Amino acid sequence: MTEEALKLAETELRSAEKSTELMKFVSALPFWNSYLKHTFARRFATLNAPYEQRMHDVYDQALTLEDAVYRDRMSAILQEQRQAEQAQLEQLTEDALKIDHLGLCTPASP
């Protein structure tokens, strides 16, 4: 391998690291999601609180709602919650990738 080929490979790798595809790939990894949800538990609790309250409110109306209406309302809330969580996961992943790209998490030399 020539020096020029190595530099080209490094440039291509750095470009790929900045792509949205990497962020989406990483943010979809189950172990990464678990790590983020554990590390940022308070942030996710705050994010989920309004959705949980809304689901509780619909649950309290269960006896007065038709089954289909009940299911539709719960499904809509769950879908919104999933979208909000996904947006949070993607933002945290993007932040982590930026920190890594800036070299702020580079381990010290032995």
Listed by start position, the domains of the chain span: 40-80
Q: How confident is the model at residue 27 (pLDDT cuts 50, 70, 90)?
A: confident
Nearest one of 26, 49, 34, 2 to 96, comparing CA atoms: 26
Higher pLDDT: 9 or 57? It is 57
Residue 34 confidence (pLDDT): 96
Q: How confident is the model at residue 106 (pLDDT cuts 50, 70, 90)?
A: very low
Q: How confident is the model at residue 2 (pLDDT cuts 50, 70, 90)?
A: confident
The Cα–Cα gap between 33 and 13 comes to 24
Neighbouring residues of 33: CB distance < 8 A, sequence distance ≥ 6: 27, 89
Residue 107 confidence (pLDDT): 44
